[in-house]
Structure 1
Amino acid sequence: MPVFNGLIANQTVQLCNARELHAFVGSKRQYGDWIKDRITDYGFVQDEDYIIVTQRTNGRPRKEYHITLDMGKELAMVERNEKGRQVRKYFIECERKALQQPKQLALPEPEKKYTFEFTEYELQQMAWLWFAFKRGVGISQHIHKIFKMLRSDMAGQIYGQAYDYLSVLRATNQTLNRITQKFEADPMTNWRVLKHLCQFDPKAVKIDV
């Protein structure tokens, strides 16, 4: 009895043709009635346990039920005969072999890159925004110590705020250094902020608990 791969809910699964299963187990019922009653009696769900495929035979359309091996095992066992038990063992072996086959690892999609244009003023504003977060870490830590001594419920929120500030600093420092590398720190202009940006050490800054 052929077992083949098919798609159910966009997932590749092993399937078999219910018509061939019906013939193999030797059911004396008419195939159309057999499969419809089994679906109703045992609560099988279309596009979950089986799919319906229309095929043409001698120019006439014929409806085929392609069923999962789990559904096939259940249909085989309810026949309560030796053929049904053979089918169940066969499907279990098919599943075992499929699990042993090495699966091809999906290659990660290349990271998307974008190109933007910024004015010098806009770059300065981003650098100063980063510096504001840096100052926020120090201020939040100082306030956190005071609220912690007072046993205030706000202490935890302030600690969380300091942690968020530090996360932003670490995540954006490398990017900002890259996009401002053509500029030099100048104490007489807004580029004086570059001194703080370039000297920042992500590992050196920690939040006291």
Structure 2
Amino acid sequence: MNELISTQNNEHGDIIVSGRELHEFLEVETPFRKWFPRMTEFGFVEGADYTPDIFVHPLNKQETTDFLLKLDMAKEIAMIQRTEKGKEARQYFLQVEKAWNSPEMIIKRAMQIQDKKILELQNQIQEDKRYTDFGKVVEMSEASVNIGAFVKIIFDKHGINIGRNKLFDWLRDKGYLIKSGREKNNPKQQYIEQGLFELRPTIVKRSEGDVQSHTTLITGKGQIKLAEILLNEFSNRGDLIG
């Protein structure tokens, strides 16, 4: 089958057609920017039948809007034209549809889906390996721990010999913790929102009255990330790796 109008598949497996290419094939005299809105008045819905596609035009280097049409919409638009070119386009789309639904193409699509799943599984294995290498430092990866406890974890699991005070210095230098003032050593809000730290309020009992304080805790997610960074950064420093 000769390709009169190019087709492609979207992420959902639908056959789609460029509105601009269809307009050009149909030899419509009305400019595309006026013609296409008229076509949508036949009951087509954006997001269901077509989607906008903004690209940089190769000639004038300007942003240009195309519309990607599902095959059913392209067929109907071709029929609406009531011209020989419209009839030719519709017949072509029917052939495309027939080929798409042939047993050979169904098998091919099934194999492509399977290949995609295999690739996703391979990527997941690589991602899991990252957690095996660094993270499952924490079988307790759901639990949050204080700085002192994290120092012990990374020494026991990875041999990173960095003391509690040095780790505080490192976290401040890297911008994870606030450096000075009343909130010194508290995690910055952005890292709390990223799920790396949490700030747990505690009550300190004093003779002059109870005072609320805060304890910086590293979440399971934060432990995984920080262990990875520390291993990468200090792997060649004998003073920090036991």
TM-score by length of 1: 0.47
The structure richer in helix per residue is 1
Larger Rg: 1
